[in-house]
């Protein structure tokens, strides 16, 4: 009888040991698979005891198709601005701006950007906070800079003198792709939330008129008939000795008139 009891205990020990070995082996396999899936679907590698197919589904669901399409459309518009005939006109024509202490400009890493200070200014120091392809150059009132390919944003500090007085200009620099822009290829105009869009920026002594004054000067000139703008997308007017463009822009315009939005720019 005792011999039977001992044999039974030995058999049970073997069964328990086998079960424990199987459990340990299976646990290692699961841990190994979890590590592989965590690398493959890295949305949250700290989560445990989640089947691989659940991780895959969660990872795929985390990709927002709408946001992806918005980024793609933005880049397509950007390429069109930079590479089309419309784009060349945008790049070649200067953006006129009133001189100020702090300003925001857009830069493209494939082009040198020229900044022209008011006549009579002499730049003594200029330093960007971001990487540039070559040393920044300046002479008298003209400065040239080209960001590195990795450029996203930063700033440029400029010290200059004029009429025996010292001034400084802090330019907040942003990559072109961060600008909110679209292109109307049919009417050959570009539409941007910010008119500071080019590779030549020319500063002046607060000589640009207020947008509202320019717009209503044009409205008075055409007797309130804006059909020309609605057909072509834009029109021009001379105000205070300068040429301004009135652009129909229902996306980024800030001037509301009879159900439409318009904006004023020194270039088209």
What does the pLDDT average to over 226-244?
A: 87
Per-residue pLDDT tens over the stretch 90-136: 666 788 888 989 999 988 888 889 999 999 999 999 999 999 988 89
The token pair at 116 is 């022209």
Question: Per mean pLDDT, which range of 75-84, 113-122, 237-246 is the poorest?
Answer: 75-84
Residue 185 is predicted with a pLDDT of 62
Please say whether the structural domain 73-204 has been given the CATH code 1.10.287.3610. no
Residue 196 is predicted with a pLDDT of 63
Highest mean pLDDT among 86-90, 107-111, 135-139, 224-228: 135-139
pTM above 0.85, yes or no: no
pLDDT at 248 over 80: yes
Residue 250 is predicted with a pLDDT of 87
In the chain, residues under CATH classification 2.60.40.10 are 73-204
């Amino acid at each position: 009888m005792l011999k039977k009891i001992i044999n039974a205990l030995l058999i049970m020990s073997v069964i328990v040991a086998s079960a424990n070995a199987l459990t340990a082996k299976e646990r290692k396999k699961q841990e190994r698979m979890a590590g592989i899936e965590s690398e493959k679907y890295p949305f949250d590698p700290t989560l445990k005891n989640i089947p691989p197919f659940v991780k895959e589904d969660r990872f795929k669901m985390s990709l927002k198709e709408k946001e992806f399409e918005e980024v793609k459309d933005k880049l397509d518009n950007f390429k069109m601005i930079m590479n089309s005939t419309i784009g060349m006109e945008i790049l070649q024509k200067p953006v006129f701006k009133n001189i100020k202490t702090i300003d925001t400009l857009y830069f493209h890493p494939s082009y040198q950007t020229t900044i022209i200070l008011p006549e009579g200014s002499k730049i003594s120091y200029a330093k960007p906070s971001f990487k540039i392809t070559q040393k920044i150059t300046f002479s008298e009132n003209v400065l040239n800079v080209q960001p590195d390919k990795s450029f996203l944003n930063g700033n440029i500090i400029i010290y200059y003198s004029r009429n025996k007085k010292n001034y400084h200009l802090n330019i907040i620099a942003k990559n072109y792709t961060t600008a909110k822009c679209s292109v109307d290829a049919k009417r050959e105009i570009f539409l941007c939330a910010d008119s500071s869009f080019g590779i030549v920026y020319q500063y002046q002594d607060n000589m640009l008129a207020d947008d509202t004054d320019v717009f209503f000067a044009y409205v008075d000139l055409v007797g309130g008939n804006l059909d020309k703008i609605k057909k072509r997308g834009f029109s021009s007017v001379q105000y205070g000795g300068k040429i301004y463009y009135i652009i129909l822009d229902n996306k980024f315009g800030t001037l509301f008139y009879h159900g439409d939005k318009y904006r004023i720019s020194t270039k088209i």
